[in-house]
Every structure is written in C-alpha cells, then in structure tokens.
Amino acid sequence: MKTSLKYSILIVTFLCLFFLFAVPAHALEFSTKYSIITYSDPGEIDDFFLRLGGEHYDFRDNPQLAASLIDRLVDRIQSILGVIPRDLKFKIYLRRGTLQDGMKAYYDPKNRVIFISADYASQGVLAHEIGHAIVGKYFPTPLPSKLQEILMQYVDKYLWSDY
C-alpha cells in the first residue's frame, strides 16, 4: 500500500512539473497556411515577426501579411528542395532566450514541432528548421541526420540567392 502511494505521488508530481515547464501558461496561437504558431505573449510574436521581416508588423491588424512571411518561406524552401509534401502542417513554438543546450532553434520530428527563440529568430534559422519539417513530411522513412543537414545547408545557401 505504501509503495503504490509513493508511486502515485511521484507520478502526480512529475505530471505537474511537466505541464508547468512544457506547456506555456497562457498559450496563444496564430495560424498560417502551413503552420500554427504558439506563443506566450504578444511581445514574443512581435519580436519574432520583427526579426523575420525587418520591421514591426502588427499581425493582429494584418494577419495575412504576417502569415505570408511564414508561408512564403515554406514555398521558397519547397521550391529549392523540389519537394512538395501533401498536407504539410507543422507547429512553431516560440520561446524567449536560448533553448536547450544553448540552441536558437530545433525541430522535433516526432511531434512535427519547430522550437525557436523569438530573441534569435531569423529567416535563415527558421528556414533551416522548416526544411527539416518538409523533408520529414515528404519522405516516409526518416533520412539520416547527416543527409538532412546536407540538404539544409543547400537550403541555407540558395534561400534568397536569386533575389
């Protein structure tokens, strides 16, 4: 009896900590054609779009303009890679500061989620992670990580080369 009570307390504690740190307290969402962006406060997404577009966009007043910043990037990456996955949809979770292990962004293929720091976002950083989402959706069997990184370097090199 005591052992099961200890395990129950341990499980409840773990779940509370998980939801405390893994899920934003007041998650807000913004949708585009390809993505759902989850953020904690308006300043976070404002900084994100500032870093992507080079100027302040009040995405609440003009959601199409803000969404086009993301969707145009996705279309460009699909064009570079020459792959267009069916029903492409992924999530973007914005955070402040650096992420795990000091990273600015990373892609979780299991959950199809891009985690990106609003403080360090750029078109190049986001494009790299979106490339992983596109490749992950297009190929039924995951590509080896080294091959994926070679493809993402190709995306990095040609992202805006013809502009």
Contact between 151 and 135 (Cβ < 8 Å): yes
Task: Please give the structure tokens belonging to residue 6.
Answer: 């200890």
pLDDT tens digit at each of 163 positions of the chain: 566 555 545 454 444 444 444 444 578 999 999 999 999 998 899 899 989 888 766 666 778 888 999 999 999 999 999 999 999 999 999 999 999 889 999 999 999 999 999 999 999 999 999 999 999 999 999 999 999 999 999 999 999 887 6
User: pTM here?
Assistant: 0.81
CA-based radius of gyration for the chain: 18
Question: What pLDDT sits at residue 62?
Answer: 76
Contact between 125 and 82 (Cβ < 8 Å): no
Please state the domain extents for the chain.
23-158
Q: Which of 70, 117, 77 is nearest to 95 (CA)?
A: 117
Question: What pLDDT sits at residue 3?
Answer: 60
Question: What pLDDT sits at residue 6?
Answer: 54
CA dist 59 and 42 (Å) reads 10
Q: Locate the DSSP E strands across 4-161.
A: 28-31, 35-39, 90-95, 105-108, 113-117
Contact between 152 and 144 (Cβ < 8 Å): no
Which CATH number applies to 23-158?
3.30.2010.30
